[in-house]
């Protein structure tokens, strides 16, 4: 047991009751380790198939601490202590870490990171679907520097494509699949600055309708950026669209599609969709972002869960015999953290993991690659000394004695900065506060109106064809190349799943080593170019006598 600095013996409040009795038997842990080892040994039989389907799950803001706390919450929602729970993402057999910094910032945003893991190149913070030559917010630098996402490459290869998110359809992560913009904030024409208009940049919502690849399934929030300012929202009559150009992009999207296209905005319409008879589906369930998972019951019109949307998307996309690419984003994990509201963030993490399980259940992992990762983390911490099974949102049950200098209780979940601060000079006494309330703001050290992202590496989980390529620590843009290589897309279309020629950096120039055939040809050329020597003359005379 930990020893308090004061020399007093700290105590816990009945932790023994929360530890499952079978875990007191050493055989329990040995048997578990044996099973894990057997599974690990089997992973030596690598899945080298071509990935017909690729599903990329992005937990926006889902750092390692969020995964751990979300795991405990999921178990506790099922009546267990929580720590022993296995998430759907945990069960994917391969894992690595990704470095998340943007080209210009140590701690990144969701736009530059999305460009990295979707298109394969790092970029500046705030830029969408463009390379590192584009300056954030400067339209004049954008032309000619657009980059294709894996969604675009999948579309070009004849695969179906889809995007599912709990954020707005024009938000940074999902926009990076189809749009190119020097600023993530140019999501509607009303937000285009004079410089962007003069230099011909188009807003993100308009790009989806006018120039995006042919995406079959789009399910998210964000109706307002597709409706003109004089048209009220269908769910909230007092709210209007944001567009100044008068275009109703929702109607345009439906009418332009060659097959059966449907637009839905509530749960009844979503449930009525027959996947077998629907070629294109656009569902936008809120004017801006969708509700937090824990707040869904507040929507009188109803909203599908992330699992519902993932299931519907796969049902529609898998009709294509060539396969599909699907992006699924748990986008509001990030928003909960920004507000220092761990309850909202972690319930969305559980909903995100439920969606991963749906995909695993629906797809054959022999030909379907599933990757789960995050764009960045947050200043979210999990500490103290709570006993086994302590409620994840509760106050720590460790009796610190004099170690807690202000003699006030603490929660094990805290933030490094954000709105959960106190400016009174003393920490708030939370003795009588319900820290499990969805509106409770966990305490933070530095007072900020909005909590910031974190800069540490994020986990990358993978299963399916070529999933073993996810290992160790890599730059975040490596994720895009793994997906492209596994599915034979883009620059890997011709030589995927073959021994790639290694590259060595020499003097800042990438030099490709020669293969065997090239070496033979070069050797013959060298021999033929050598000066004629006496030895050659003697050999020639000798051959002539023969």
3-state secondary structure of 511: strand
Using alpha carbons, list the distances in angstroms from residue 71 to 74, 317, 318, 356. 5, 30, 30, 13
Residues facing residue 370 across a β-bridge: 55, 463
Q: Which of 6, 21, 110, 119 is catalytic?
A: 110
CA atoms within 13 A on the CB side of 425: 0
Cβ–Cβ under 8 Å, residues 151 and 177: yes
**Feature table: binding site:** 60, 171, 173, 329, 334, 338, 375-376, 453
* 220: β partners: 284
Q: Which two tokens stand for residue 39?
A: 């599974």
Handedness of CA 213, 214, 218, 224 (dihedral sign): positive
CA-to-CA distance for 407 and 7, rounded, in angstroms?
17
Nearest partner of 18 among 87, 88, 79, judged by Cα? 79
The DSSP code for 103 is: S
Q: Is 537 a catalytic residue?
A: no
285, 286, 292, 293 alpha-carbon torsion, rounded to 10° = -20
Residue 370 · residue 92 · CB < 8 Å: yes
Token match 């894990």: residue? Answer: 36
Residues labelled as active-site residues: 110
């Amino acid at each position: 047991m930990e020893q308090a600095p004061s020399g007093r013996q700290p105590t816990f409040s009945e932790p023994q009751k929360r530890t499952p009795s079978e875990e007191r038997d050493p055989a329990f842990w040995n048997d578990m380790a044996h099973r894990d080892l057997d599974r690990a040994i089997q992973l030596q039989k690598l899945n080298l198939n071509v990935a017909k389907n690729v599903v990329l799950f992005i937990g926006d803001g889902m750092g390692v601490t969020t995964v751990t706390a979300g795991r405990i919450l999921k178990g506790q929602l099922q009546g267990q202590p929580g720590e022993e729970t296995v998430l759907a993402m945990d069960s994917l057999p391969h894992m690595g870490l990704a470095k998340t910094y943007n080209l210009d910032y140590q701690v990144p945003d969701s736009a530059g990171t999305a460009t990295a893991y979707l298109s394969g190149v790092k970029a500046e913070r705030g830029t969408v679907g463009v390379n590192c030559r584009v300056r954030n917010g400067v339209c004049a630098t954008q032309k000619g520097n657009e980059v294709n996402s894996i969604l675009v490459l999948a579309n070009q290869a004849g695969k179906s494509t889809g995007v599912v998110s709990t954020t707005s359809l024009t938000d940074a992560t999902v926009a990076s699949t189809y749009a190119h913009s020097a600023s993530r904030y140019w999501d509607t024409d009303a937000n285009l600055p004079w410089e962007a208009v003069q230099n011909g940049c188009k807003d993100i919502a308009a790009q989806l309708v006018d120039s995006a690849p042919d995406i079959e399934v789009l399910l998210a929030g964000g109706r307002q950026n597709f409706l003109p300012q004089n048209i009220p929202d269908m769910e909230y009559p007092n709210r209007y669209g944001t567009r100044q150009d008068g275009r109703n992009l929702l109607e345009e999207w439906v009418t332009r599609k060659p097959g059966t296209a449907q637009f839905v905005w509530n749960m009844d319409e979503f449930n009525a969709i027959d996947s077998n008879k629907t070629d294109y589906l656009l569902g936008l369930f809120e004017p801006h972002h969708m509700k937090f998972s824990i707040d869904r019951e507040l929507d009188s019109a109803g909203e599908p869960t992330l699992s519902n949307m993932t299931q519907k998307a796969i049902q529609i996309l898998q009709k294509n015999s060539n396969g599909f690419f699907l992006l699924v984003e748990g986008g509001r994990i990030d928003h909960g953290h920004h507000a220092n509201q761990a309850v909202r963030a972690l319930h969305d993490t559980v909903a995100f993991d439920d969606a991963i399980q749906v995909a695993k259940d629906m797809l054959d992992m022999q030909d379907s690659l599933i990757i789960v990762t995050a764009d960045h983390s947050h200043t979210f911490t999990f500490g103290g000394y709570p006993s086994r099974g302590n409620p994840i949102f509760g106050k720590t049950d460790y009796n610190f004695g004099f170690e807690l200098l202000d003699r006030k209780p603490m929660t094990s979940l805290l933030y490094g900065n954000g709105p959960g601060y106190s400016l009174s000079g003393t920490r708030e006494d939370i003795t009588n506060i319900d820290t499990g309330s969805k509106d409770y703001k966990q305490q933070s050290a530095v007072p900020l109106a909005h909590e910031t992202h974190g800069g540490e590496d994020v986990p990358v989980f993978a299963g399916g064809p070529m999933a073993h390529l996810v290992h160790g620590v890599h730059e975040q843009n490596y994720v895009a190349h793994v997906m492209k290589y596994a599915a034979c897309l883009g620059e890997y279309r011709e030589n995927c799943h073959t021994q790639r020629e290694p590259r060595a950096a020499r003097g800042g120039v990438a030099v490709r080593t020669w293969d065997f055939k090239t070496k033979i040809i070069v050797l013959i050329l060298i021999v033929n170019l050598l000066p004629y020597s006496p030895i050659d003359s003697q050999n020639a005379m000798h051959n002539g006598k023969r």
